[in-house]
Amino acid sequence: MLQEFIDYLKAKKISPLDEVASEFKLKTQEVVNRVEGLEAMGRITGLLDDRGKFIYISTEEMEAVAKWIKLQGRIGVSDLAAESNRLVDLQPKEAVRTTIEGAVVEEAATQ
């Protein structure tokens, strides 16, 4: 189940914590604790934002942003945001997108 949890976060890229909690039948605080623990162990990388989402950022994406910062030297926040948007892929992977769409179709069919 732990690997499924990790794979889910990696595939989804941007995961609302309450949605993850529902998917894995956990409390939201348990999801936060699990994400923080996995980050501390080096199993996943990313950030928890103040709106209740975990954003998965691969090590390679982080390294690409760090390399760009080193090459640029001093940068502004807007430049960092623009380059991060270019270097970090935030689109969910196809398998999760299909599952989500399937759930929406299934939900619409039962109403």
Q: Compute CA distances 44 → 8, 17, 58, 104, whole Å.
A: 11, 15, 8, 28
Task: Give the domain range for residue 43.
Answer: 2-110
Q: What is the pTM of this model?
A: 0.72
pLDDT tens figures, 42-83: 999 999 999 999 999 998 988 988 899 899 988 899 988 888
Q: Domain containing 13 — which CATH number?
A: 1.10.10.10
Summarize the confidence of residues 96-110 as an average pLDDT. Answer: 42
Q: Is the pLDDT of residue 98 over 70?
A: no
The domain total for the chain is 1
Q: What confidence score (pLDDT) does residue 94 get?
A: 62
